[in-house]
Amino acid sequence: MNDCLDEPRLQKPLNSTSDQQVTSLIDIRGLNKWYGQFHVLRDINLQVNKGEKIVICGPSGSGKSTLIRCINCLEEHQQGSIVVDGTRLTNDLDNIETIRREVGMVFQQFNLFPHLTILENCTLAPIWVRKQSKKEAEKVAMEYLERVHIPDQAHKYPGQLSGGQQQRVVIARSLCMNPEVVLFDEPTSALDPEMIKEVLDVMIELAREGMTMLCVTHEMGFARTVADRVIFMDEGQIIEQAPPAEFFDHPRSERTRKFLGQVLNH
């Protein structure tokens, strides 16, 4: 992050030379990250437009989770620029907080707050970060809990819910902040098979309603149904990106073909 220290705070995205151009919601250029000596993200260039649904897939260790965690600064990057909705991600705490308000995240391990009720989990951030009143926040929370089909669980604790229900709460919790984009980090990988469908259904509904989504997942069926673009990553690089039809039926790279062969076989 050292090279970003002196750059002024940008109000406009980098490529706003023409008013007619579609401005990217997320603009990643030349992103490089190292864990010590290990080069985990290599020269990533990625633009995500508003309303786009992107699925990122690849073998484990390819850096896909690391990439999306860089977007909301859960991981720090050493080189390159990330601009989210006009705000550049630097080490300025105000920028980071602005970006985190606009970016929602759904985790593989749920990470609900076990000592708060479902409703409290959803209203916590709106009250303390967006400074909404308790009544307002609860109204919004109940709406989203209905959208994910579990309004009756509002006063229970996370420990009392099944895995599928918990993950749906996580989706609702991130939606309560009214984000511009939601990141999904392998949302169904920790679920028992019979609960994967209920979560995927909610994600599909969300996609249909026009939310910008960036999903790291192994669920290829979901990718085919919903994605505008599928991205394949391997060894820290973006190997290939294409609309799903093209990606699954006519993969261009050898590595993509190999991966698809392994994943789609069962």
Which residues bind to other proteins, rule: CB under 8 A?
1-2, 5, 72-74, 91-94, 96-97, 100-101, 103-105, 107, 109-115, 124-125, 128-129, 173-174, 177
CB of 112 vs other proteins, minimal distance in Å: 8
CB of 53 vs other proteins, minimal distance in Å: 20
- The number of beta carbons lying within 10 Å of the beta carbon of residue 175 is 22
The DSSP element (H or E) to which 211 belongs, if any, is: none
CA distance 154 to 61: 37
CB of 98 vs other proteins, minimal distance in Å: 9
CA distance 261 to 138: 47
C-alpha closest to that of 5 among 87, 73, 91, 70: 91
Residues β-bridged to residue 240: 232
End-to-end CA distance of the chain: 42
CB of 252 vs other proteins, minimal distance in Å: 34
Who contacts 252 (Cβ-Cβ below 8 Å, separation ≥6)? 240, 242
